[in-house]
C-alpha cells in the first residue's frame, strides 16, 4: 500500500516509472466493486495494479435497503466488505476531495489524518450519487435520508422507537404525532421503503395491547401525477391501489412545502404533525465531480461515449479516463437521445463492460459500445407482495412478483457467503416471526455513559426545621401527618452529619 501513497504527480502523458500501470477506481459501490473484480479476473498482478478508493469499507447493495429497514434482511448482509469482495485489490478508505486528471492524480482525505495525493495511469469514476435535497424549511433538521445502510437502520429504529414511546403515552395528540410516518418521493426507493416499513410496523404493533394498527398513519408524498414511473401505468396504478387498501395515504402532484419542528405542510394546504419524515425524492451526481477537470453535463454528471470512455461535448475522448453508474451520462443506444437510467441493473452491467474495455485498451485492442436493453423492473411491497415487469410486456403482481424480486436481487449480490446468508435469513423469517425491536441507542452508544460520568449537582442545604414547617414545593405530606419525604430525608442527613 505504500506505493499507493506516492505524492509525486505523474507526467502529463500518464507515463510513470512503475513497472505495471496503476488503475485507480474512485467509488466502492456497484461500479467500483464489479469493475475491480472483473479487471482482476482479466488482468494478472503483473499486468495492472488496481486501487479502489471509498470513504466506507464496504459496498452497499441499494435494492435491499427497504428490506433491511423492515428487518427482513440483517443489515450486515446488505453490504459487501471490500476486504472480502476485492481479493488481490488494494482498498483505500478515504473521501475523494479533488481530481486533477491532467496531472493524473487524486487527492484523498481520510477520516483521520492529513489529505494526501495518489497518482495513477488509468482512472475509473464510479462515485455514484447522493440524495438530491431542496431548500425546504425544516427538511435538514427533521428528515432522514434513505441512501445507505446506516440510514435504513436509522429509519427502522426510529419507527419502532416511536411505537414503543406511543404505547406509554396517554396524550392523544402526542401519540398521533408519534405514530404518523411521512415518506417523500414515489419512485422505487420511496414506494418500497414505505411499503416494507408499514408492513413491519403493522406486524410490530400487534405486540402492544394499548395500540392498534388503526392508530398509525402512513403518508406518501409524490410530486408527479403517478408513482413508480419505472413500470407501466397499469402496474403503477395497481401499486397505488394496493397501498391505499392498506390505509397508506398517497398524495400525488403534491410537494412538501415545510416540515419545521415536525409540522408538515403540503402544497395542497394539507397540514399535520409527524415525528418521522423520510426523504427519498431523487438523487444527484456526487458533488465532488465539480472539483475536477473532467467534462460534466448540466446535471453534474461526467459525460461519456457509449464505450464508457470520458469525452467532452464534442466527443473528444479524455485519455485514460472512464466512468459509469449514477455519476455518468452514458448514452442509451436503445433509446437514442436518452441516457441509461441510474439503477443497479445498468450500473453492474456498465461496470463489467467498462472493465472489459479497459482490458482491451491495455492489450492494444479497440473498446466496444455498451448496449443493454432494459429487461424490466421488480419491486417489493412488503412480505409476500410485489410487482414486476419484464421486456415491457410481461406484468406480474402479488406473491410471484415478490419471489422474482428476491431471486433477481440475491443473484446480483456479490460474494457467495452474502447470498447464502440472505437466503438463510429469509428461511428463518418464514419459520419464525422477524424481530421488531428498536435499538435506538446504537446511533449514540456513548450517551448513557456520558450522562453517568457527569457529576451530580450538589443539593441545596435544608432550612432549619424550627423556622418553617411548610412543605417543600412539589412535595406532599405523608398520610399520617408526620411530615414530608423531603423533611425525613433532611432529618436523616442531619443525623448522619451529627453521627459523623
Question: 149 is written with which cell numbers?
Answer: 445502510
* pLDDT tens digits for range 197-236: 999 999 999 999 999 999 999 999 999 999 998 888 889 9
DSSP-assigned letter for residue 339:
B
For the cut 50, the answer to whether the pLDDT of residue 492 exceeds it is no
C-alpha angle with apex 162: 156 to 165, nearest 5 degrees? 140
**Mean per-residue pLDDT for 299-308?**
96
For the cut 60, the answer to whether the pLDDT of residue 496 exceeds it is no
Q: How many CB atoms lie within 10 A of CB 187?
A: 19
Q: How many CB atoms lie within 10 A of CB 207?
A: 12
Q: Which residue has the cell 427502522?
A: 156
- Residue 440 has a pLDDT of 65
- Residue 467 has a pLDDT of 45
User: Highest mean pLDDT: which of 140-144, 440-444, 457-461?
Assistant: 140-144
Which is nearest to 218 in space by CA: 187, 267, 263, 184? 184
Sequence-distant (6+) residues with CB within 8 A of 172 are: none
**Mean per-residue pLDDT for 329-350?**
91
- Residue 74 has a pLDDT of 87
For the cut 70, the answer to whether the pLDDT of residue 475 exceeds it is no
For the cut 90, the answer to whether the pLDDT of residue 310 exceeds it is yes
- Residue 449 has a pLDDT of 72
Higher pLDDT, 353 or 466: 353
Sequence-distant (6+) residues with CB within 8 A of 128 are: 27, 29, 30, 31, 286, 325, 326, 327
* pLDDT tens digits for range 47-99: 999 999 999 999 999 999 999 999 888 888 999 999 989 999 999 999 999 99
3-state secondary structure 362-422: HCCCCCCCCCCCCCEEEEECCCCCEEEEECCCEEEECHHHHHHHHHHHHHHCCCHHHHHHH
- Residue 427 has a pLDDT of 83
Q: CA 169 to CA 395: how far, in whole Å?
A: 45
What pTM was estimated for this model as a whole?
A: 0.81
For the cut 90, the answer to whether the pLDDT of residue 249 exceeds it is yes
Q: Which residue has the cell 505495471?
A: 20
- Residue 442 has a pLDDT of 64
Question: 71 is written with which cell numbers?
Answer: 428487518
Q: CA 179 to CA 91: how far, in whole Å?
A: 43
**Mean per-residue pLDDT for 377-394?**
86
For the cut 80, the answer to whether the pLDDT of residue 116 exceeds it is yes
Amino acid at each position: 500500500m505504500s506505493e499507493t501513497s506516492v505524492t509525486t504527480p505523474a507526467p502529463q502523458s500518464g507515463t510513470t516509472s512503475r513497472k505495471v500501470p496503476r488503475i485507480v477506481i474512485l467509488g466502492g459501490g456497484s461500479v467500483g466493486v464489479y469493475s475491480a473484480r472483473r479487471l482482476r479476473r482479466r488482468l494478472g498482478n503483473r499486468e495492472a495494479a488496481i486501487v479502489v478508493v471509498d470513504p466506507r469499507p464496504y459496498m452497499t447493495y441499494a435494492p435491499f435497503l427497504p428490506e433491511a429497514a423492515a428487518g427482513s434482511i440483517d443489515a450486515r448482509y446488505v453490504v459487501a466488505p471490500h476486504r472480502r469482495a476485492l481479493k488481490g485489490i488494494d482498498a483505500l478508505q478515504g473521501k475523494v476531495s479533488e481530481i486533477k486528471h491532467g496531472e493524473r492524480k487524486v487527492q484523498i482525505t481520510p477520516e483521520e489524518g492529513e489529505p494526501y495525493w495518489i497518482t495513477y495511469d488509468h482512472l475509473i469514476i464510479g462515485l455514484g450519487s447522493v440524495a438530491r435535497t431542496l431548500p425546504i424549511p425544516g427538511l435538514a433538521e427533521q428528515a432522514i435520508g434513505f441512501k445507505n445502510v446506516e440510514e435504513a437502520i436509522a429509519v427502522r429504529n426510529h419507527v419502532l422507537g416511536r411505537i414503543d414511546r406511543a404505547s406509554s403515552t396517554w396524550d392523544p395528540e402526542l401519540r398521533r404525532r408519534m405514530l404518523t410516518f411521512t415518506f417523500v418521493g414515489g419512485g422505487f426507493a420511496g414506494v418500497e421503503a414505505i411499503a416494507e416499513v408499514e408492513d413491519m410496523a403493522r406486524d410490530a404493533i400487534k405486540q402492544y395491547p394499548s395500540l392498534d394498527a388503526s392508530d398509525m398513519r402512513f403518508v406518501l408524498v409524490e410530486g408527479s401525477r403517478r408513482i413508480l414511473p419505472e413500470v407501466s401505468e397499469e402496474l403503477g396504478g395497481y401499486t397505488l391501489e394496493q397501498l391505499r387498501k392498506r390505509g397508506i395515504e398517497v398524495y400525488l402532484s403534491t410537494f412538501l412545502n415545510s416540515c419545521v419542528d415536525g409540522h408538515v405542510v403540503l402544497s395542497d394546504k394539507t397540514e399535520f404533525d409527524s415525528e418521522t419524515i423520510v426523504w427519498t425524492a431523487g438523487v444527484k451526481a456526487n458533488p465532488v465531480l465539480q472539483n475536477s477537470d473532467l467534462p460534466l453535463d448540466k446535471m453534474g454528471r461526467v459525460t461519456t461515449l457509449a464505450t464508457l470512455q470520458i469525452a467532452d461535448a464534442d466527443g473528444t475522448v479524455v485519455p485514460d479516463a472512464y466512468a459509469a453508474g449514477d455519476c455518468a451520462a452514458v448514452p442509451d443506444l436503445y433509446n437514442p437521445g436518452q441516457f441509461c437510467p441510474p439503477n443497479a441493473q445498468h450500473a453492474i452491467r456498465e461496470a463489467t463492460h467498462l472493465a472489459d474495455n479497459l482490458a482491451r485498451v491495455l492489450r492494444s485492442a479497440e473498446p466496444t459500445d455498451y448496449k443493454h436493453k432494459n429487461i424490466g423492473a421488480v419491486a417489493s411491497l412488503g412480505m409476500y407482495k410485489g410487482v414486476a415487469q419484464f421486456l415491457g410486456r410481461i406484468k406480474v403482481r402479488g406473491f410471484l412478483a415478490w419471489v422474482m424480486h428476491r431471486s433477481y436481487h440475491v443473484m446480483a449480490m456479490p460474494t457467495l457467503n452474502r447470498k447464502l446468508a440472505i437466503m438463510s435469513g429469509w428461511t428463518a423469517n418464514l419459520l419464525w416471526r422477524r424481530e421488531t425491536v428498536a435499538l435506538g441507542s446504537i446511533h449514540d452508544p456513548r450517551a448513557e455513559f456520558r450522562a453517568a460520568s457527569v457529576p451530580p449537582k450538589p443539593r441545596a442545604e435544608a432550612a432549619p426545621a424550627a423556622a418553617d414547617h411548610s412543605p417543600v414545593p412539589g412535595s406532599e405530606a405523608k398520610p399520617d401527618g408526620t411530615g414530608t419525604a423531603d423533611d425525613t430525608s433532611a432529618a436523616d442527613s442531619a443525623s448522619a452529619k451529627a453521627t459523623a
